[in-house]
């Protein structure tokens, strides 16, 4: 297993390099440092002297990719691509390109805690509610409960997340005044601000998750080990919750693991609409302001989390099913 993990991490490192290069090329294909300077400086009349000063302060006065006027190693190390790539791989995220020039590492560490307070309860509740609801539909399969449950899942799946947000804010915040419409407060007061986003995000994802798990459970109940368990006189509840659920853990782990990076990176839509200062809103602000330093950092962190998650999923397979061997 150790060799397998090392190989996967080695491949992951190469993927991180490729993602960083691709992000750099795509960003500067659309934008130029002069465009970024004009946007961040603001104002209708921006002089070339102001643009050059902004670029010099942030290191964009050097060539982006290659300096043809020099030779040797200095030719490479003086380019923006090389310096930014080396600092990123060393986890030195530097400062943002915006006028505030914030420390990106400090912002990520601070905002990640806020995003985790929203995403961790949502992740746990989503898994429990989706699995329980889908098992309930399978238990009452071929009945009215199963039929209307599937209809409800399709309806919930067809509705946009924005609809849940707008209706939830109007009904629970404006009419009933149970929770604040937006904002955030530290400590225990955060529960009042995070309760509504968690509930609405849970509803927005429940339809798709429940249909997926229901299909997996229906596939499992037709297998031989289920018929054997029933032949032994076990009740349907025991068959479903002890045998079927246990043998369906591998696809559940795969599905839940695909969502795991969002636990750390935050929700772009819900954090923005509810004014939660997490990593999701941080990314939205950076994209709107063409802040390449922040965008590059968040893409790098997202790629690293996906690679780490896939390795953890492979390891979890060996815990769930002893027959799985990593080699």
pLDDT averaged per 10 residues in sequence order, the chain, 327 residues? 77 86 82 78 74 79 66 59 78 79 85 87 90 90 90 89 88 87 85 90 88 88 84 84 83 81 75 85 82 86 86 80 66
Of 42, 62, 89, which closes a domain?
89
Whether 201 is covered by a domain: the verdict is yes
135 plus 248 within the same structural domain: yes
278 with 148, same domain: the answer is yes
54 close to 40: Cβ distance less than 8 angstroms: yes
- What total of structural domains would you count in the chain? 2
Q: Tell me, yes or no, whether 142 lies in a domain.
A: yes
Same domain membership, residue 251 and residue 144 = yes
| Residue closest to 243 by CA, chosen among 133, 130, 144, 138 | 138
Q: Are residues 121 and 160 in the same domain?
A: yes
CB 63 within 8 Å of CB 79: yes
17, 69: one domain: yes
CA 104 to chain centre: 18
47 & 140 share domain: no
Helix (H) or strand (E) holding 12: helix 2-30
Residues 85, 209 within the same domain:
no
Report the alpha-carbon distance of residue 77 to residue 52 in Å, rounded.
Answer: 21
pLDDT at 75: 53
| Cα 185 from Cα 302, distance rounded (Å) | 26
Query: Among 154, 257, 252, which residue's Cα sits nearest to residue 208?
Result: 154
Query: Could you tell me if 125 and 25 lie in one domain?
Result: no
**Do 291 and 196 belong together in one domain?**
yes
Euclidean distance between CA atoms 206 and 191, whole angstroms: 21
The 3-class secondary structure across 138-199, one letter per residue, is: HHCCCCHHHHHHHHHHHHHHHCCHHHHHHHHHHHHHHHCCCCCCCCCCCHHHHHHHHHHHHH
156 and 15 both lie in a single domain = no
Question: Is the residue at 6 inside a domain?
Answer: yes
CA gap 227, 302 in Å, rounded:
43
153, part of any domain: yes
Sign of the alpha-carbon torsion through 87, 92, 93, 98: negative
Quick one: pLDDT at residue 283? 85
Give the per-residue pLDDT at 145: 92
The pLDDT of residue 68 is 53
On whether both 53 and 141 belong to a single domain, the answer is no
Query: By residue range, what is the domain housing residue 78?
Result: 2-89
Q: How far apart are the first and last CA of the chain?
A: 6
């Amino acid at each position: 297993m150790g060799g397998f993990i090392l190989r996967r991490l080695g491949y992951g490192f190469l993927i991180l390099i490729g993602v960083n290069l691709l992000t750099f090329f795509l960003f500067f294909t659309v934008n130029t440092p002069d465009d970024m300077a004009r946007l961040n400086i603001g104002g209708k009349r921006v002089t070339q002297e102001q643009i050059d000063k902004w670029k010099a302060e942030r290191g964009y006065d050097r060539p982006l990719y290659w300096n043809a006027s020099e030779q040797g190693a200095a030719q490479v190390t003086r380019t923006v691509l090389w310096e930014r790539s080396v600092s990123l791989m060393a986890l030195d995220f530097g400062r943002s390109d915006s006028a505030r020039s914030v420390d990106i590492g400090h912002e990520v560490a601070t905002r990640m805690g806020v995003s985790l307070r929203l995403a961790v309860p949502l992740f746990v509740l989503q898994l429990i509610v989706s699995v329980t609801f889908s098992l309930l539909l399978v238990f009452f399969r071929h009945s009215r409960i199963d039929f209307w449950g599937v209809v409800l899942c399709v309806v919930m799946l067809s509705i946009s997340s924005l609809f849940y947000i707008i209706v939830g804010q109007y009904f629970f915040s404006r009419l009933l005044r149970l929770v604040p419409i937006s904002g955030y407060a530290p400590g225990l007061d955060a529960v009042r601000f995070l309760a509504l986003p968690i509930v609405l995000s849970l509803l927005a994802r429940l339809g798709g998750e429940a249909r997926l798990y229901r299909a997996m459970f229906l596939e499992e109940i037709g297998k031989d080990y289920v018929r054997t368990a029933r032949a032994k006189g076990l009740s349907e509840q025991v068959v479903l919750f002890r045998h079927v659920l246990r043998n369906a853990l591998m696809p559940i782990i795969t599905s839940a693991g695909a969502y795991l990076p969002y636990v750390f990176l935050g929700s772009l839509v819900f954090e923005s609409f509810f004014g939660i200062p997490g990593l999701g809103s941080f990314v939205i602000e950076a994209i709107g302001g063409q802040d390449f330093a922040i965008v590059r950092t968040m893409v790098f962190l997202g790629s690293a989390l996906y690679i780490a998650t896939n390795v953890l999923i492979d390891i979890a397979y060996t815990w769930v099913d002893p027959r799985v061997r990593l080699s």
